[in-house]
Every structure is written in structure tokens, then in C-alpha cells.
A and B are shown apart, each in its own frame.
Chain A
């Protein structure tokens, strides 16, 4: 089985930086995903890490350390529209995703 932990909620002001941590324990690992989900909508893909290191995509970056079972999603230059739930998900050897409970990010003016 897999256990994935991430904080429940984080609050930050517009223009700031927020880092969402995710730790995982898995019996198989084929990559780690970050998704953004607005209330009542399906998740949208943000990033995928399968090798150690940092992946940067515009204002969003994701980091992975396989030896530590750890990842983070970094959101820079926060905008109000970034208020959403951010889901950490680990893919097993068969491509099945196990999701964390999600981190609700609240961006304040």
C-alpha cells in the first residue's frame, strides 16, 4: 500500500511564495504528480517528477527526493486564481495513482 501526507491548508498573500510538502511511503514508485483542483472541478495536471531534482514550469516548480520519499510544489508570485486544492499523487508500477488528501491553498489580498 501507499501512504501520502500533505498539509491540510496553507494561507499566503498575493505575490508571495508558498511551498507545499508531500511525503510518501510506497511499495512501488513510478513517479509523483502534482494536480490543481478548484472546487467542483476535475484535477488539472501541474507537474510530474520521476527523477530526483527540481522541475520548473513558469511560476510552479516541483522537487523530488526518492531516497527521502519527499516532494514539494513551489508556487511563486501567488495570484488570487491560485486559491485551490493541490493534490500530491504517487504512481505505482501499474500506473495507478494514489492521492494525498490535498492541501487547500488560500490566497489573500
Chain B
């Protein structure tokens, strides 16, 4: 199956700083990627859809100025958490659809990034 990577796998930062998380599709191109957030013992919540060459679309309740998304190329999307606060501490996961013939409806997830804001 297709491979999606994320970097960093974990990060600890001080309150008020910004953190950038990268999501890469390693062996396929992804015009669309999705960003999720997962709090402990809860399910994944879709934050936004990252679109290559155009603006991201955000889910209701997600602040676009706080969670900046840039889909710089067909294999890279970045999520920047600006002015991070302790309540932003969470597990952030990206996904990309398909990649292989016959699997275009499958979404593959990156390994996730654990963000802890002190």
C-alpha cells in the first residue's frame, strides 16, 4: 500500500510558539491531504482538507488563522500550529487518498505527530 510520512513524530514546545508539522506522500502524488486531530481516548476529528495549489478548506469550528495549512507540492502538506497553547496538545494525523490503481478510495494515514505544549 501507499506510504505517508509525518515529521516530527513528537514535539514539545513552549506556550506561544509556533510548530510546523510536515506530511509527505512517499511513493505517490496527492493533490488532496487531510489533517486530523485526536485527543486521548477520543476518535479522529477532521480539521481541514489540504488542496495542492489552492486554499485549504476548514471544518466548522477550526480556526484557519491558528492552524495554517500549505500544500506546497503534490507530495507535501504542512500544518503550522501558531501561538500554541496547552489546549492544542494533541495527536495530529494526516492522511492522503489512494495512490495505487484500484485503491483510489482508500485513505492512508501518516504515523502521527504528538504535540505537547507546556
Task: Mark A residues whose CB is within 8 Å of B.
Answer: 30-31, 33, 35, 40-45, 48, 50, 87, 91, 94-102
Top 9 nearest A-B pairs (CB, nearest first) are A42-B109, A42-B112, A99-B43, A101-B43, A99-B44, A102-B43, A42-B111, A43-B109, A42-B93
18 extra A-B contacts, CB within 8 A, seeds A43-B44, A87-B43, A96-B34? A31-B105, A40-B91, A41-B111, A41-B112, A42-B109, A42-B110, A43-B93, A45-B1, A45-B106, A45-B108, A48-B105, A48-B106, A50-B105, A95-B97, A97-B46, A97-B107, A98-B46, A99-B45
Give the complex CA separation of A102 and B45 in angstroms. Answer: 12
Q: Check: B29 CB closer than 8 A to any chain A CB.
A: no
Q: Give the number of residue pairs across the A-B interface with Cβ within 8 Å.
A: 52
Q: Check: B32 CB closer than 8 A to any chain A CB.
A: yes
> Chain B contacts of A100 at CB under 8 A?
43
> Chain A contacts of B32 at CB under 8 A?
95
